[in-house]
Amino acid sequence: MHIHVSWKAIIAGCFFILGFLLLVRVSFILNSPSSQVSNADNGVAAPQEEPTAMQGGLSFTATAAALRRTESRQDDDPLDATATLTTTVLLDTPTPTIQSPLERTAAPTPMPLIRVQDGFVQRDGAVTYAFVARNPNPAQSLRDTKYQVAAYDANGVVLGISGDTINEIGPGQELGIVNSMQIAAQVEVSRIEVQLRDGQVFEQPSFLAELTVTNPAFIPGDQTSVTGTVNNGRDRDVERVTVFAITYNGQRIVGGGSASVAFVPANGQAPVSIPVVTSDEVTHAGFWVVLSTTTTEP
């Protein structure tokens, strides 16, 4: 029997065998212990940790400039010229660490007015009350501070409520307030309670301390009154002021009243007469000058 093999089949078989041997060789190289090439043998330097840098309030540690680095190495064997060993080094990405921001120093919260003392006088259905408040802030004036006064009987029953606004009180200043409320004529007030709300902060210094009262006098009669002289230490006229007078028996408040003054001339004086209601003998009186309306003058 005659077997005929074409030359094309022979060439194809040779290429098949050569390719198979080459594949086996490459597989052997990749899986052999000698193929575990270290970074030092391949010339790949270990990642160097860079100093910590600060950018925009964030701190991070940079490792290397590239995230990936690939190097190729060919075996010395000419038969393996087509085989390429690739080593890939994975590097850590920079991880930003947010630092806590610097704590901001908040502006001090102004302290509310402090009630220093209070008292009242009842005449049938009219209750005249007086109290002294103090601004504890050494450098801040307070404006538009609302107050509320409640009258109670001996059993704690509310008999009446009254309130108004303190237009302005200067830093560290004490201020006397006198007002009144109407209640039923047949009930008796046992005590009063004064409540003060927070006012608006006013950084500009108050000039109320430049308004004083001198030459006080107590005038008895059908309509008891106290008189005095309002002094203006400013170089401009002051208009629409209210003068409060609180009467005392020793250290105890026994009454009071108020009166308005149209204006006090610059560096001048103005007389004032204040009708007062008292419940006991008067030993002395305290005077306070306030603005009838809030002012924006420096």
Q: Which residue would you say has higher pLDDT here, 272 or 92?
A: 272
Of 15-19, 115-119, 165-169, 246-250, which range is least confident?
15-19
Q: How confident is the model at residue 86 (pLDDT cuts 50, 70, 90)?
A: very low
| SS3 per-residue string spanning 211-234 | EEEEEEEEECCCCCEEEEEEEECC
Q: Which residue would you say has higher pLDDT here, 226 or 19?
A: 226
pLDDT digits (tens, 9 = 90+) for 127-185: 999 999 999 998 888 989 999 999 999 999 999 999 999 988 989 999 999 999 999 98
Backbone φ, ψ for residue 113 (5° rounding): -60, 150
Looking at residues 16-35, what average pLDDT do you find?
A: 71
pLDDT digits (tens, 9 = 90+) for 87-106: 444 445 556 555 544 444 44
E-assigned strand segments in 17-140: 52-55, 58-61, 68-73, 85-90, 97-98, 114-123, 126-134
Listed residue (232, 282, 233) closest to 257, CA to CA? 282
Bridge pairing between strands 114-123 and 126-134: antiparallel
pTM of the model as a whole? 0.62
Backbone φ, ψ for residue 157 (5° rounding): -80, 135
